[in-house]
C-alpha cells in the first residue's frame, strides 16, 4: 500500500498542528493577561486549530489522483550529492570562525565543485580561491572586515591587538 502524496502532507501538517498546539500552553502569560481578550497565546491557539482543521479536511476529502503516490514523488532522486552538499554547508558553518572566511570558503567551494563532478585541479583550486579572495577584498572595500580565523590567533600568527 502506498500513501497518496497530498494525504501524507496533510498528515504531517496535522501532526505539526497538534505539536504546536501542545506547546502553546508553555507560553508564559503576564499577570492579568489570562483574561485579556488578546494575549500571547491567542494567535498561536487560533493557528493550531486552523491548521488542524485545514489539514484534517484535506485528509478526509476524496483523494486527488493527480497528486500520485508518495513513493512516486520521491523516486529517482539523486540524494547522495545533496546530502554531501548539506554536510559541506554544516562544515562551513562550523569552520567559518575557526579557520576563517578565506580558508573555510575556499574549502567549501572546492568541496562543492568536486561533489558536482569537477575534477580539474587547476579549475577547482583557482576558481574557489580566486572567487573567495575577490569576495573578501570586495567586502573589505565595503568596510566589512572578516577575520582570517581564530585558528591563526591560537597559533600566535595573528595578534588581537590590532
Partner 1 sequence: MLEGIFSGLSTAVMPINLLMVAVGCFAGTFIGMLPGLGPITAIALMIPITYGFDPSTGLILMAGVYYGAIFGGSTSSILINAPGVAGTVATAFDGYPMAQKGQAGKALAIAAYSSFSGGTIAAIFLLVAAPALASVSLSFQSGDYFALMVLGLTAVSAFAGKGQVLKAITMTLFGIMLSTIGTDPAAGVARFTFGSMDLVDGISFLLLAMSTFALSEALLSILRPTKDTRSEEEKALKSLGSMKLSKEEVKIMIPVIGRSSVLGFFTGVLPGAGATIASFLAYGMERNIASAKEKLGFGKGSIRGLAAPETANNAACSGSFVPLLTLGIPGSGTTAVMMGALISYGVQPGPRLFVEQPDVFWSVIISMYIGNIVLLVLNLPLIPYISRLLALPQQLLVPFVLFFSLVGVYLVTFNTMDIHMMVIAAAIAIGLRLLNYPMAPMLLGFILGKMMEENLRRALAISDGSISFLWERPITLVILLISILFLAAPLIGNLRSWLANRKSALPNDGEL
Nearer to partner 1, 92 or 152 (CB): 92
Rounded least distance, CB 75 to partner 1, Å: 10
Q: Crossing angle of helices 101-115/121-141, nearest 10°?
A: 140
Cα(107)–Cα(100) distance, rounded to whole angstroms? 11
Cα(28)–Cα(17) distance, rounded to whole angstroms? 19
Rounded least distance, CB 51 to partner 1, Å: 5
Contact letters for partner 1, residues 117-156 (x by CB under 8 A): xx----x---x---x---x---x--xxx------------
How crowded is residue 106: how many other Cβ atoms within 10 Å of its Cβ?
Answer: 21
Contact letters for partner 1, residues 2-41 (x by CB under 8 A): xxxxxxxxx-xx--x---x--x---xxxx--x--xxxxx-
Amino acid at each position: 500500500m502506498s500513501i497518496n502524496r497530498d494525504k501524507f502532507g496533510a498528515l504531517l501538517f496535522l501532526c505539526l498542528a497538534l505539536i504546536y498546539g501542545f506547546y502553546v500552553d508553555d507560553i508564559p502569560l503576564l499577570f492579568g493577561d489570562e483574561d485579556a481578550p488578546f494575549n500571547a497565546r491567542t494567535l498561536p491557539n487560533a493557528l493550531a486549530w486552523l491548521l488542524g482543521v485545514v489539514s484534517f479536511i484535506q485528509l478526509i476529502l476524496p483523494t486527488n489522483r493527480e497528486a500520485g503516490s508518495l513513493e512516486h514523488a520521491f523516486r529517482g532522486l539523486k540524494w547522495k550529492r545533496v546530502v554531501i552538499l548539506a554536510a559541506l554547508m554544516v562544515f562551513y558553518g562550523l569552520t567559518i570562525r575557526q579557520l576563517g572566511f578565506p580558508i573555510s570558503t575556499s574549502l567549501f567551494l572546492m568541496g562543492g565543485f568536486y561533489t558536482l563532478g569537477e575534477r580539474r585541479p587547476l579549475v577547482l583550486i583557482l576558481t574557489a580561491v580566486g572567487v573567495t579572495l575577490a569576495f573578501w577584498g570586495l567586502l573589505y572595500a565595503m568596510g566589512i572586515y572578516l577575520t582570517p580565523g581564530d585558528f591563526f590567533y591560537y597559533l600566535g600568527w595573528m595578534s588581537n591587538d590590532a
